[in-house]
Amino acid sequence: MTVVAFAVAVLLAAAFGMALIRVVYGPSTLDRIVANDVLLAITVGAIATEAAYTRDATGLPILLGLALLGPVASIAVGRFAAPARPIPGSAPHEDERPESQPSDRGGQP
């Protein structure tokens, strides 16, 4: 059991280091936000590993709270982030319509 716990700790530490590099050197803000979400998932995995290794359920409420509320920030930022280019096949926005097309207001100016 100690060998497995050590192997999991090494893998979690390596994943944490790689995600931390993406947070620091990420080319865009969205890359940094996704890396923060990955860091949160690694933290949840570390808490779950510690709880399984020690057979102590003290950290499980923290684990549950992080797992439920963690992705909310990524979803919120993703919702308000403007896409870099239009999605093929999607309808154009109001300000992107050509002047020759009628508006959706039923003929009203």
Q: Which amino acid is at 89?
A: G
Tokens, residue 59:
């950290």
Q: What angle do CA 42, 70, 13 make, to 5 degrees?
A: 10
Q: Please determine, for residue 24, whether its predicted confidence score (pLDDT) is greater than 90.
A: yes
pLDDT at 17 over 90: yes
Q: State the pLDDT at residue 78.
A: 76
pLDDT band (50, 70, 90) for residue 86: low
Which pLDDT does position 73 carry in this prediction?
Answer: 79
Q: For the chain, what are the domain ranges?
A: 2-81
For tokens 């207001």, what's the residue? 105
Query: CB neighbours of 93 closer than 8 A, spacing ≥ 6?
Result: none
Amino acid at 29: T
Mean pLDDT of the chain: 82
Q: What is the pLDDT of residues 45-81, one digit of tens each?
A: 999 999 999 999 998 899 999 888 888 877 888 777 7
**Full-model pTM:** 0.69
